[in-house]
Amino acid sequence: MTIDIKKPIVLFAFLLSMQLSYSQLGFSHEVGVIAGPVAFQSDFGERYDFETNSGNTGFGIGLVYYMNFDYLTNYYYNSANNYFTDHFKVRAELSWNKTKLNHFGKWVDAERTSTSADKLRAHSGEAQNWNLGAQLEYYPLSIKGFSQGAFPLTPFGSIGAQYVSFSPSVETSYGDQNIDNPNNFYPLWEPESISDKSGSAWSIVASLGVRYKLSILSDLMVDLRFQQFFNDSMDGLDHQLASNKANDWLLWLNFGYIYYFD
């Protein structure tokens, strides 16, 4: 199953061109790359199970752009003591992540020899997402002070929204291995709950992180992100049993390198 990435890339390019145009008004920009492990929480596996949480992990990578308001203080006197310009940045991002998915927990333990357990063990999938969006980042310490080397580390928190283009894959090694045959899957699931169709959704993102001043024009960054999707089909499975209490979501621990453009 292929995924259509043209729309996210075109939108990111358009957003980036708009952001860069603000440099004429005294904004500065920062660009960077991020990458790291992803823990995908979905209808695969058992809720609150350590094996599920540690087993359904993948990888993500992305491009980020920051609009830094601090440089406004060099252009406009009234901005010199503005709290917003010294503590907030806007972050635009285009990212991709992929996670292999399997069932873990007591329902697939080796001692379970039922047909239902066999079907669960045979079922696997993959979640693949392209994300495009923006976040507002808050820095409790002075952005200007950090950029001038007053302190080597600065924490931050952020919140925002992202548009997601998703393309799950579904596989089973049970029976005739046909994913359109409901007899190959867990018998209590509805036939329509299994799907490898691509789609799109919105999500909210929030993160906590820290930057380290590597040089005057570069930082290292690490943050832990929570992303909640407004869709439950990101993983190719959307059954309606009582255990399905929430839409899909993920945690992403990413590491990044950020470069400043004056």
Q: Look at residue 122 and tell me whether its pLDDT is greater than 60.
A: yes
Q: Which residues pair with 40 in a beta bridge?
A: 250
Residue 28 vs residue 91, higher pLDDT = 91
DSSP 139-150: -SS-HHHHHTTS
The tokens for 70 are: 């601090």
Give me the pLDDT at residue 10, please.
58
> Is residue 199 scored above 70 in pLDDT?
yes
For 226-241, what is each residue's pLDDT tens digit? 999 999 999 999 988 8
Q: From the CB of residue 118, how many other CB atoms can be counted at a distance below 10 Å?
A: 16
**What pLDDT shows up at residue 169?**
96
Q: Which residues contact 71 (CB under 8 A, 6 or more apart)?
A: 26, 27, 28
Is the per-residue pLDDT at 23 higher than 80? no
pLDDT at position 177 over 80: yes
pLDDT of residue 72 exceeding 60, the answer is no
Which residue intervals of the chain are DSSP H helices?
6-21, 50-55, 83-87, 115-122, 143-147
Q: What percent of the chain clears pLDDT 70, i.e. is strictly above it?
A: 83
pLDDT of residue 227: 97
Task: Tell me which residue of 8, 69, 66, 17 sits closest to 211, measured CA to CA.
Answer: 66
Note whether 226 and 160 are within 8 A (CB): no
- Across residues 161-183, what is the average pLDDT? 96
- pLDDT on residue 24: 45
Closest CA relative to residue 230, chosen from 203, 190, 191: 203
Mean pLDDT of 190-217: 95
pTM for the model: 0.85
Determine the pLDDT at residue 70: 64
pLDDT exceeds cutoff 60 at 113: yes
User: Which tens digits make up the pLDDT trace of 87-103?
Assistant: 999 999 999 999 999 99
